[in-house]
């Protein structure tokens, strides 16, 4: 048996949607990209969405649009994919990391507050803070937004794991529903449509915002900084043909209509995708709760996670047990993974001066975490096979 940690699900409706576009006039960015943006805006309850060719591009455009550049700092969680931090370096800014919370594995907000106070004294406050909704479990955005009002930073949510997630119950005293992506407590939110994520467009990303000016800037930046809008143009000489003008420095980050068609058709299934993920999580929880030495994911009360990942911790002996379980699972064809190697431990970041020990919680987590298979088409017998393998690995492989 071969069971990966993640896998996309493609349906006949996806094939039909893509083939319609292949037989149409547009292959690259055209009307379907606009439909995809509309659909995301409706799904998450936001005014503007800007679709691009990856979440990495969306993060880069979000940082650029917020003016991140040389001399600025961007802070994020070390427990993320490298792209979250890398895009700040591409803007010429410096990156710093706020250690994670030992229970949720999201950025620790107590540590964030302490670090902000310290940075305020030193005159080194960040321009942007990027919370990452790790595994699909939303961060406490209301709290982060309070800190942003106090310390004056912008907020970009890296919601690559979290389409369809909600943080309604975390908004103190409120019964209103806050969907991740609505930007109720942030400037911009970014989603990924990579095949390993909840819904896919093959590749693709989107930035959502309620700030029309930011959206307009990102629309331009995704296509070389060019505008086609008469009201954005600088030169207005009627004797010259200005059918477009470059007013910013951008690049080609466009999504294609082919991929947007796949994205649209997948978005229609997000609720289904997530409810199956919840069933899988429940089956894991019931099956694994008696396994001593294994820590199951913590669910923040009232939060609706999208369960992009199912991270468990293999405790004890500083990574030895984790490696033994990893090896045994892979021997049985189960592609458990590690999310994440803390970004500051990557050799590239080490060369920039980050040392082992800089974010102890994230580093402890790295030495214990395994992400179990989690995807829509994972069948109950396969889940049971994974759990049997896990029990077995604990019995045979562990040093204690």
Ligand X SMILES: *Cc1c(COP(=O)(O)O)cnc(C)c1O
User: In the complex, which residues of this chain contact ligand X (CB under 6 A)?
Assistant: 54-56, 80-81, 83-84, 132, 158, 160-161, 192, 194, 205
CB of 192 closer than 8 Å to CB of 25:
no
Ranges of beta strands (E only) in 280-337 are 294-295, 310-314
116 versus 207: smaller Cβ distance to ligand X? 207
In whole angstroms, the minimum distance from the beta carbon of 362 to ligand X comes to 14
Distance CA 252, CA 261 (A): 19
In whole angstroms, the minimum distance from the beta carbon of 136 to ligand X comes to 10
Q: What are the residues facing 205 on neighbouring strands?
A: 52, 192
In whole angstroms, the minimum distance from the beta carbon of 341 to ligand X comes to 13
Distance CA 34, CA 331 (A): 45
In whole angstroms, the minimum distance from the beta carbon of 36 to ligand X comes to 14
In whole angstroms, the minimum distance from the beta carbon of 3 to ligand X comes to 20
Distance CA 301, CA 143 (A): 15
Q: Residue 145 corresponds to which tokens in the numbers above?
A: 């937004």
109 versus 198: smaller Cβ distance to ligand X? 198
**What is the distance, to the nearest Å, from the Cα of residue 270 to the centroid of all Cα atoms in its chain?**
15
Distance CA 286, CA 154 (A): 40
Directed axis angle between helix 55-65 and helix 83-90, to 10°?
Answer: 40
Q: For residue 56, what are the CA distances in angstroms to 52, 59, 89, 149?
A: 9, 5, 12, 27
80 versus 265: smaller Cβ distance to ligand X? 80
194 versus 222: smaller Cβ distance to ligand X? 194
Rg of the chain taking only CA atoms, in angstroms: 22
311 versus 397: smaller Cβ distance to ligand X? 311
193 versus 394: smaller Cβ distance to ligand X? 193
In whole angstroms, the minimum distance from the beta carbon of 22 to ligand X comes to 22
267 versus 390: smaller Cβ distance to ligand X? 267
In whole angstroms, the minimum distance from the beta carbon of 387 to ligand X comes to 25
Directed axis angle between helix 31-44 and helix 257-267, to 10°?
Answer: 30
In whole angstroms, the minimum distance from the beta carbon of 161 to ligand X comes to 6
182 versus 200: smaller Cβ distance to ligand X? 200
Q: Residue 41 corresponds to which tokens in the numbers above?
A: 């805006």
DSSP string, 192-222: E--TTSSS--SS-EEEEES-HHHHHHHHHHT
In whole angstroms, the minimum distance from the beta carbon of 310 to ligand X comes to 14
Q: Residue 318 corresponds to which tokens in the numbers above?
A: 């500083």
192 versus 305: smaller Cβ distance to ligand X? 192
132 versus 390: smaller Cβ distance to ligand X? 132
Distance CA 46, CA 170 (A): 19
In whole angstroms, the minimum distance from the beta carbon of 195 to ligand X comes to 9
Distance CA 163, CA 181 (A): 8
202 versus 397: smaller Cβ distance to ligand X? 202
Angle at 291 between CA 287 and CA 292, to 5 degrees: 160
In whole angstroms, the minimum distance from the beta carbon of 320 to ligand X comes to 27
Distance CA 280, CA 291 (A): 17
Buried b (16+ CB within 10 A) or exposed e, 155-186: bbbbbbbbbbbbbebbbeeeeeebbbbbbbbb
């Amino acid at each position: 048996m071969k069971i990966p940690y993640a896998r996309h699900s493609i349906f006949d409706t996806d094939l039909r949607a893509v083939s319609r576009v292949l037989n149409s006039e547009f292959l690259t960015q055209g009307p379907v990209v606009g439909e995809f943006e509309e659909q995301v805006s409706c799904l998450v309850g936001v005014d503007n969405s800007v679709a691009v060719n990856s979440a990495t591009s969306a993060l880069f455009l979000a940082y650029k649009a917020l003016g991140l550049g040389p001399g600025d700092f961007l802070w994020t969680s070390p427990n993320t994919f490298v792209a979250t931090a890398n895009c700040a370096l591409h803007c010429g800014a410096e990156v710093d990391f706020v250690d994670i919370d030992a229970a949720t594995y999201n950025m620790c907000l107590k540590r964030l507050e302490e670090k902000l106070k310290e940075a305020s004294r030193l005159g080194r406050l960040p321009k942007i803070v990027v919370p990452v909704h790790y595994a699909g479990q939303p961060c406490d955005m209301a709290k982060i937004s309070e800190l942003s009002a106090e310390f004056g930073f912008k907020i970009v949510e890296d919601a690559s794991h979290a389409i369809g997630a909600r943080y309604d119950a975390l908004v103190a005293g409120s019964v209103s529903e806050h969907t991740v992506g609505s930007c109720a407590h942030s400037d911009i939110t970014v989603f990924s449509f990579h095949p390993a994520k909840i819904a896919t467009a093959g590749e693709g990303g989107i930035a959502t915002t309620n700030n029309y000016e930011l959206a307009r800037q990102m629309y331009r930046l995704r296509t070389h900084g060019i505008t086609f809008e008469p009201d954005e143009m600088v030169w207005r000489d009627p004797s010259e043909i200005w059918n477009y003008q470059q007013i910013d420095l951008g690049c080609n980050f466009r999504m294609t209509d082919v991929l947007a068609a796949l994205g649209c058709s997948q978005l229609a299934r997000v609720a289904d995708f997530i409810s199956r993920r919840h069933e899988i999580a429940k089956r894991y929880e019931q099956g694994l709760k008696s396994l001593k030495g294994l820590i199951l994911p913590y669910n923040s009360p009232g939060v609706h996670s999208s369960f992009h990942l199912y991270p468990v911790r293999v405790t004890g002996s500083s990574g030895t047990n984790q490696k033994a379980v990893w090896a045994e699972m892979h021997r049985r064809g189960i592609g458990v993974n590690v999310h994440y190697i803390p970004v500051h431990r990557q050799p590239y970041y080490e060369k920039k001066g980050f040392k082992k020990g800089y974010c102890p919680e994230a580093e402890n987590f790295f030495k214990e975490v395994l992400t179990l298979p989690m995807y829509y088409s994972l069948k109950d017998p396969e889940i049971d096979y994974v759990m049997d393998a896990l029990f077995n690995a604990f019995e045979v492989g562990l040093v204690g």
